């Protein structure tokens, strides 16, 4: 008699992870639920939301009759996610901590814990995503430790697993999984990949999971919650007062508490002005934020974006890009932004040697140049 496959499922106290664990049980797997506590935060009533979520996750496991574990990655989250978040803001960039959390916490710390400590044959999450492997193919994958450092990219991965969009295009979360390492992706199941959100809610309602079904869906950055974003950031970064300056006539329109608080393309709430103005550029040396009126202002558009080191899910750049130094692709820089066809061009950053994993990236349509509006990303 074949022993049931052991799948360790991340449970967050929400409806998606609860239904993911339920579906794994239905497939006949031995399932263990693991709750990750990554941040200690209080809501507006002084209640620790992580403790409340942990209780909900524990109750899910009780209902499903599966073992429950709790782990804390607060230290790792601070070092790898939150510190990176603050450093990026100080440099004037807008990071996405959800992407970084998935890369370092869920698909490194949690993955290693599940495999090394709990003996998992595979891990699972409640993300709306799919891979190119069927369940049985996932269980056949061997856990091979990739070398770190200089020779990492020379480590060949045969038949790399692909990350695929979910059937529910509106809920698709592959944007947030875009930096998941290949070694974790090949041993991950996404039970909700073929389902819609409405159907997931229906399953929860039919299986006594009403306590998670009634919860509001978590949105935004977990460690900020409902707090004012500017006030939160200024608890950790020193204010750097500066000016809002019109891109059209260099007129000073108002003042702000820090140029790093603003993202290219976002609306700048300038006190005393009724009409909307949008961030075009930032001058870190002077502390000025340059703004333009109207969302269709020419200064808000660019036909060239540059990137640093690229994370290839397959661990190697596509052959077409290596051969031709350009390739057609679909592009987005925000979750739920419509995918647009662009040409990715490999280039050299001035002052640096050419690197196949980084450099200048030119974005234009296959037919010719086309401006891309700058927006929050």
**Residues contacting residue 13 through CB under 8 Å, at least 6 positions apart:** 35, 52, 53, 54, 55, 56, 57, 60, 212, 215
pLDDT digits (tens, 9 = 90+) for 50-80: 888 999 999 999 999 999 999 999 999 999 9
Sign of the four-CA dihedral 294, 299, 303, 308: negative
- Return the bridge partners of 36, or none: 71
Dist. CA 32–CA 9, nearest whole Å: 6
In this prediction, residue 343 carries a pLDDT of 86
Map out the domains of the chain as residue ranges.
6-214, 239-298, 303-373
Where helices occur in the chain by DSSP H, the ranges are 15-26, 49-64, 74-77, 83-90, 97-101, 111-112, 135-139, 182-185, 197-205, 210-213, 229-233, 319-324
| pLDDT at residue 348, as a whole number | 62
Helix axes 15-26, 197-205, angle to 10 degrees: 70
* Res 119: pLDDT: 95
Q: Which CATH number fits domain 6-214: 3.40.50.620, 3.30.70.1450, 3.30.160.270, 3.40.50.10320?
A: 3.40.50.620
Question: Catalytic site residue 9?
Answer: no
- Tokens at residue 262, please? 């603003």
Q: Determine whether 222 is an active site residue.
A: yes
pLDDT of residue 350: 52
Residue 36 CA to residue 32 CA, distance in Å, equals 13
CB 110 within 8 A of CB 124: no
Rg (CA), the chain: 23
Domain pair 6-214 / 239-298, same fold: no
> Of 54, 61, 101, 109, which one is the catalytic site residue?
101
> What span, in angstroms and rounded, lies between the C-alpha atoms of 147 and 375?
37
Give the Cα separation of 109 and 289 in Å (integer): 39
Give the torsion through C-alpha atoms of 27, 28, 34, 35, to 10 deg.
Answer: 40
Name which CATH class applies to 239-298. mainly beta
Catalytic residue among 9, 54, 61, 222: 222
pLDDT along the chain (377 residues), means of 10: 86 96 97 92 58 94 97 94 93 91 96 96 97 91 60 58 94 95 96 97 95 79 73 91 95 94 91 91 94 92 82 88 89 86 75 51 42 40
- In tens, the pLDDT along 303-352 reads 888 887 888 998 888 888 889 988 998 888 888 888 888 888 886 655 55
Name the residue among 59, 108, 58 with its Cα closest to residue 80: 108
- The secondary structure of residue 102, as a DSSP letter, is I
> 45-73: b or e for each residue (b if 16 or more CB lie within 10 Å)?
eeeebbeebbebbbbbbebbebebbeeeb
Neighbouring CB atoms inside 10 A of 217's CB total 8
């Amino acid at each position: 008699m074949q022993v049931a496959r052991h799948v360790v499922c991340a449970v967050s106290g929400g409806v998606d992870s609860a239904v993911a664990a339920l579906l794994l049980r239905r497939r006949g797997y031995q399932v263990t639920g693991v709750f990750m506590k990554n941040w200690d935060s209080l809501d507006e009533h002084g209640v620790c939301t992580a403790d409340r979520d942990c209780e909900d996750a524990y109750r899910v496991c009780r209902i499903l009759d599966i073992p429950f574990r709790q782990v804390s990655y607060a230290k790792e989250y601070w070092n790898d996610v939150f510190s990176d978040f603050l450093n990026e803001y100080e440099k004037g960039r807008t990071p996405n901590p959800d992407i970084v959390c998935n890369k370092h916490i869920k698909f490194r710390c949690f993955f290693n814990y599940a495999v090394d400590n709990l003996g998992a044959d595979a891990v699972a999450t409640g993300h709306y995503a799919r891979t190119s492997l069927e369940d049985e193919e996932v269980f056949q994958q061997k856990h091979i430790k990739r070398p770190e450092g200089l020779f990492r990219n020379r480590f060949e991965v045969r038949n790399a697993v692909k990350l695929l969009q979910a059937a529910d295009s509106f809920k698709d979360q592959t944007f947030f999984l875009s930096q998941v390492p290949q070694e974790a992706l090949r041993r991950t199941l996404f039970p909700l990949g073929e389902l819609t959100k409405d159907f997931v809610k229906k399953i929860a309602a039919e299986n006594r999971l009403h306590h998670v079904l009634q919860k509001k869906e978590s949105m935004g950055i977990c460690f900020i919650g409902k707090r004012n974003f500017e006030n939160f950031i200024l608890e950790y970064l020193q204010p750097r007062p500066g000016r809002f300056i019109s891109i059209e006539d260099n007129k000073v329109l108002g003042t702000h508490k820090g140029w790093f608080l603003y993202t290219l393309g976002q609306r700048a709430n300038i006190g005393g002005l009724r009409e909307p103005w949008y961030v075009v550029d930032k001058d870190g040396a002077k502390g000025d934020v340059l703004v333009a009126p109207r969302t269709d202002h020419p200064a808000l558009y660019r036909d060239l974006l540059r990137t640093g080191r690229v994370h290839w899910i397959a661990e190697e750049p596509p052959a077409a890009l290596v051969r031709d130094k350009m390739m057609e692709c679909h592009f987005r820089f925000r979750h739920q932004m419509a995918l647009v066809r662009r040409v990715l061009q490999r280039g050299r950053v001035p002052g640096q040697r050419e690197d196949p994993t980084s450099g200048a990236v030119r974005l234009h349509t296959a037919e010719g140049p086309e401006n891309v509006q700058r927006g929050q990303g």
